[in-house]
């Protein structure tokens, strides 16, 4: 299993990539809805903070199987949400 440190790095990297994508779109495309882009950026940052908090406090600290399942679910949730945020940026 990857370390918690690596998971946090992945979370921060993906969130920063989404923010960069939204910012570039905001700067390069003139007819883009500024409020929707700003809200999407806020959603990405909020979700990043939520994931970091979830990473710091796993369920079942004494049971390695529960911890592994917890982090597996967290990584799955992370990918699903970041993909949906990316799709919403592309739709704007």
> Helix, strand or coil for residue 80?
helix
Burial of 72 (0-12, 13-18, 19+ CB in 10 A): exposed
Measured in degrees and rounded to the nearest 5, phi and psi for residue 27 equal: -80, -35
Number of domains in the chain: 1
* CA distances from residue 80 to 33, 34, 77, 87, 92 in whole angstroms, order as listed: 24, 24, 5, 11, 19
Tell me the pTM: 0.82
* pLDDT of the residue at 30: 80
CB 11 within 8 A of CB 48: yes
End-to-end CA distance of the chain: 37
The pLDDT of residue 2? 64
Domain with 55, as residue range(s), is 4-91
User: What is the pLDDT, as a whole number, of residue 53?
Assistant: 92
pLDDT computed for residue 91 by the predictor = 85
| Per-residue model confidence (pLDDT) at position 50 | 94
Number of other CB atoms surrounding residue 44 within 10 Å: 24
- Residues of the chain below pLDDT 50: none
């Amino acid at each position: 299993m990857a370390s918690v440190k690596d998971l946090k790095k992945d979370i921060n990297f993906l969130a920063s990539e989404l923010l960069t994508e939204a910012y570039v779109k905001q700067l390069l495309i003139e007819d883009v809805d500024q409020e929707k882009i700003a809200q999407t950026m806020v959603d990405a940052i909020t979700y990043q903070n939520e994931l970091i908090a979830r990473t710091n406090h796993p369920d079942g600290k004494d049971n390695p199987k529960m911890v592994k399942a917890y982090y597996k679910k967290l990584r799955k949730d992370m990918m699903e949400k970041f993909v949906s945020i990316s799709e919403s940026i592309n739709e704007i």
